[in-house]
Structure 1
Amino acid sequence: MKALTRATAATTALAALLALTACSSKAKDDGADGDKGAGGVKTGDGVTSETIDLGVLTDMTGVYATLGKSVTQAQQLYVDQTNADGGICGRKLKLTVRDHGYDPQKAVAAYTELEPKVLGFAQFIGSPFVAAVEQRVDANKGLVLPQAWSANLLGSPYVRVVGSTYDLETINAIDFLMKEKGLKKGDKLGHVYFEGDYGESALKGSKHMADEAGLTVVEQKIKPTDNDMTAQVSALKKAGVKAVVVSAGPRQAASLVGVAAAGRFDVPVIGNNSAFAPQLLATQSGPALMKNYYVASPTLPIGADTAEAEKLVADYRKAHPKDSLDNGVVAGWTAASVFGEALKAACDKKDLTREGVGKALLTLDDFDAGFGVTQNFSDPKAPSSKESVILQPDKKATGGMKVVRQPGAAEAAQGYTAGG
């Protein structure tokens, strides 16, 4: 996961781009999606009698490049296997991929380019970028399954978060620290977080849990271009924190844990789901990560002991023998599977229009792609799950992560409204 463009300029850049592109973005009324295709199925944008075209807005060259590559390859694997089995509704699936490199200008431009050509988006990396086009998504009605878990994305019938949002995930992470890693009432908890939707959504969770459990949060806001966490570790050590949450990228998490270990600051650190990549285990920070680092995840890891996970590992290795396995594979496969199930349900209703697929997703209230967490999409105002799995880096485990706590939601998470 490599460097990205300056996030501090993202809001301004996105606002300017939206002003320029808004006039070219046309809302499509129901009449535009009324053609009858093969088998008497109603079709519209991105759907022909032979194909269903889905968009992918990913990061192959920016801060989440490792994630983007894994997610995209897993989704292509899903498409290839589905097509080999005959496709969906008598049609072959097709992915049209654009790499935005976690650049706000490229992300919005890529959405503007692909939106008229595809049924929806099986992937869109970057909470702020998704949020920037959310009103257009609602007008155009093309389903978006973001690889982003900001609570700010909730509420749209066409932007649907797969798994627990960052605030819920952080509540579950802190619950783990308190129940199993010695954090207790009256302690100080450090939180290092990216400015913007991701970090600030996670911060809501830590503040909520602090109020519930009698903790004090010591904040350290960083930019995605900040890669050396020496100053942050020094500040947290001086403040006397007993544990740390990190809501940033893998590079920042590795620096934080490595610097803390070098300075004999021996406290547990737990990251949100996008704050780890198994490639880090081969770096100097590897031993410290295996000792003191944990990750909250929306699903079981790629190395889970389930039949579905074992099959995905075998199939992915066959398709990409030179690439590492990581939880991006699980995230990509799960999102593609969710979109596929929505397409199947829409086909049953003979309505493969954008609006028809959106309505079909609402009927999925008990879906598990084989990774331990049931997803419920019946309420657009809620994430599909409140549960998290707690993982720990482990070189010996398939995908570099082992389970240290099975899927579950903390009591504080169960009574919490995401985004609240």
Structure 2
Amino acid sequence: MNRNRLVRSAAAATVLLLAATACSTKADPSSDRVGKDGVAMGPGVTDSTITVGALTDLTGVYASLGKSIVNAQQLWAEQTNRIGGICGRKVEIKVKDHGYDVQKGVAAFAEVEPESAMLTQVIGSPIVAALKQDIAARRILTLPLGWSSSLLGQEYVQVVGPTYDIDMVNGVDFLTRKAGLASGDRIGHVYFEGEYGENALAGAQYAARQHGYEIVGQKIKATDTDLGAQVTALKQAGVKAILISAGPKQTASLVGLAAAQGLLVPVVSSAPGFAPQLLDSAAAPALEKLLYLTSGYPAASAGTTRMRLLVQDYQARYPDAPVDSGVISGWVAAQVAAESLSDACAAKKLTRDGISAAHRGQAALNILDVPFDFTDPAKPSTYASFVLRPSKEAVGGLAVVEPAHEVAASRSYPLPKS
């Protein structure tokens, strides 16, 4: 793949526009026009621009990841526009911060949707869940930066990567090998209430049943940051390993307190549960010793040609910003958007239905050396997870422990119906 192709198919439109006024008039996807170049144009598309929307978290529990996602997509937009944009049009993103609040997310959608060809990011499975009916009614292709399997089965919603429950199925497989678990053993699972945590718990419980393990669940809220009580409960239960499906602050608290209480067992989190800034905290030694992550994307330290180029370009553009998992996930979503828009342009249908149809025609899209299949909305685009671990020595604070692979239980797991 040449550099221009990489830039085009890696780029996610973000000229960061924080709109000051809300738009109450919804766009009509049926009001398509034909451009000067003969390309049919839907909402968000003119002869000179393609505008896409982003509903992000810049002030809530995932603010650090939200900033990285926006930065990565802005970098892509800038690079894309320098080589002529997509379909001869410059790409712009209309970004709105919802602070990981569902009501604010719904209001942000009402403002951004009428002027957008597609949505390159919506952070938060609960927010996407609240918007599913509106997304379907407006026929706007949406890339959630949330991986709940409850978002599957939607024609216009595309989860890019394994879902939280599949990640936990793969995580239990890793713990079986790492901790030498045997039938009858207990695994703790600390999880957020709501879409993220409860979807992850479903996958963990399924995988545990396959092996004869018992899951000891501990539900928490996003506002809970001191997990001392949960650690004490898990230690008393005699768990041999722990899963956590929460945010970075909760992960640091859990792992740090577990180490302090002598509960020296491996801990597995999904990628949203870690941020490299944690390696500057007092919990860093425990995190490097005990924590592992399952992720559909490779670490920034993976060392492949494509990843090295991304890291190089991102650090040049944002020299003081960490290269965390938000950079990778934002970049991946950007590439998916780029390919969908480019394929729609080739079909001369930059309408919402044309963009969605182009996207659903992608059976083997390779992004950062990970293959994705977007043809079936009811299935994850991949069942494979990398296993990563925190490392101060690694670019982005994560090193690869195991390359992406799937286990048999991930294919037999009965995905929840949306």
Q: Which TM-score band (shorter chain)?
A: over 0.9
Q: What residue number does 2:169 align with?
A: 171
Instruction: Give how far 1:44 is off.
Output: 1.1
TM value normalised by structure 2: 0.92
CA–CA separation in structure 2 for the residues paired with 1:384 and 1:275: 21
Q: What residue number does 1:131 align with?
A: 129
Instruction: Give how far 1:101 is off.
Output: 1.1
SS for the counterpart of 1:317 is helix
CA–CA separation in structure 2 for the residues paired with 1:113 and 1:84: 28
Task: From the superposition, tell whether residues 25 and 186 of structure 1 become closer, same or farther in structure 2 (CA, over 3 Å).
Answer: farther
Match among 125, 142, 145 for residue 144 of structure 1: 142
Q: Deviations over 1:155-201 (max 9, x none)?
A: 11111000000000000011000022222221001000000000010
TM value normalised by structure 1: 0.92
Instruction: Give how far 1:305 is off.
Output: 1.4
Q: What residue number does 2:252 align with?
A: 254
Q: What residue number does 2:222 align with?
A: 224
Pairing of 1:343-362 with structure 2 (within 5 A):
343-362=341-360
Q: Deviations over 1:182-222 (max 9, x none)?
A: 22221001000000000010011011101111110101000
Gaps of 5+ in 1: 1-20
Q: What residue number does 2:410 align with?
A: 413
Task: Give the letter for the 2:130 counterpart.
Answer: A
CA–CA separation in structure 1 for the residues paired with 2:415 and 2:161: 12
Q: What residue number does 1:58 align with?
A: 56
Q: Deviations over 1:227-246 (max 9, x none)?
A: 00000000000011110000
Q: What residue number does 1:382 align with?
A: 379
Q: Deviations over 1:116-153 (max 9, x none)?
A: 11111101001111110111100101111010000110
Pairing of 1:6-85 with structure 2 (within 5 A):
28=28, 30=30, 32-33=31-32, 35-85=33-83
Task: Give the letter for the 1:69 counterpart.
Answer: K
Point out the more displaced range, 287-296 or 75-84: 75-84
CA–CA separation in structure 1 for the residues paired with 2:221 and 2:309: 38
CA–CA separation in structure 2 for the residues paired with 1:179 and 1:85: 48
CA contact (8 A) 1:25 1:136 kept: no
Q: Deviations over 1:71-105 (max 9, x none)?
A: 11001111111111111111010011111111222
Q: Deviations over 1:251-271 (max 9, x none)?
A: 001100000000111111000
Q: What residue number does 1:11 align with?
A: none
Pairing of 1:8-407 with structure 2 (within 5 A):
28=28, 30=30, 32-33=31-32, 35-370=33-368, 372-407=369-404
CA–CA separation in structure 1 for the residues paired with 2:366 and 2:303: 15
CA–CA separation in structure 2 for the residues paired with 1:417 and 1:89: 40
CA contact (8 A) 1:72 1:332 kept: yes
CA contact (8 A) 1:51 1:93 kept: yes
CA–CA separation in structure 1 for the residues paired with 2:293 and 2:239: 19
Task: Give the letter for the 1:348 counterpart.
Answer: A
CA–CA separation in structure 2 for the residues paired with 1:194 and 1:269: 16
SS for the counterpart of 1:296 is strand
The RMSD of aligned alpha carbons is 1.3
Task: Give the letter for the 1:366 counterpart.
Answer: A
Instruction: Give how far 1:25 is off.
Output: 7.6
CA–CA separation in structure 2 for the residues paired with 1:113 and 1:29: 16
Instruction: Give how far 1:364 is off.
Output: 1.0
SS for the counterpart of 1:368 is strand
Instruction: Give how far 1:417 is off.
Output: 3.9
SS for the counterpart of 1:203 is helix
Task: Give the letter for the 1:393 counterpart.
Answer: P
Task: Give the letter for the 1:396 counterpart.
Answer: E
Q: What residue number does 1:15 align with?
A: none
Task: Give the letter for the 1:373 counterpart.
Answer: V
Q: Deviations over 1:29-84 (max 9, x none)?
A: 53x22x10131000010000000001111111110011001111001111111111
CA–CA separation in structure 1 for the residues paired with 2:26 and 2:60: 30
Instruction: Give how far 1:368 is off.
Output: 1.8
SS for the counterpart of 1:38 is coil
Gaps of 5+ in 2: 1-21
SS for the counterpart of 1:145 is strand
Instruction: Give how far 1:327 is off.
Output: 1.4
SS for the counterpart of 2:52 is strand
CA–CA separation in structure 1 for the residues paired with 2:94 and 2:255: 38
CA–CA separation in structure 1 for the residues paired with 2:275 and 2:81: 30
Q: What residue number does 1:3 align with?
A: none
SS for the counterpart of 1:225 is coil
SS for the counterpart of 2:153 is coil
CA–CA separation in structure 2 for the residues paired with 1:216 and 1:414: 21
CA contact (8 A) 1:167 1:419 kept: no
Q: Deviations over 1:370-419 (max 9, x none)?
A: 1x421110001112111100000000000000011110011111222433
Task: Give the letter for the 2:387 counterpart.
Answer: I
CA–CA separation in structure 1 for the residues paired with 2:117 and 2:205: 39
Instruction: Give how far 1:333 is off.
Output: 0.4
CA–CA separation in structure 2 for the residues paired with 1:303 and 1:62: 27
Q: Deviations over 1:244-295 (max 9, x none)?
A: 0000001001100000000111111000110000100110000000000001
CA contact (8 A) 1:373 1:387 kept: no
SS for the counterpart of 2:319 is coil
SS for the counterpart of 1:71 is helix
CA–CA separation in structure 2 for the residues paired with 1:332 and 1:59: 13
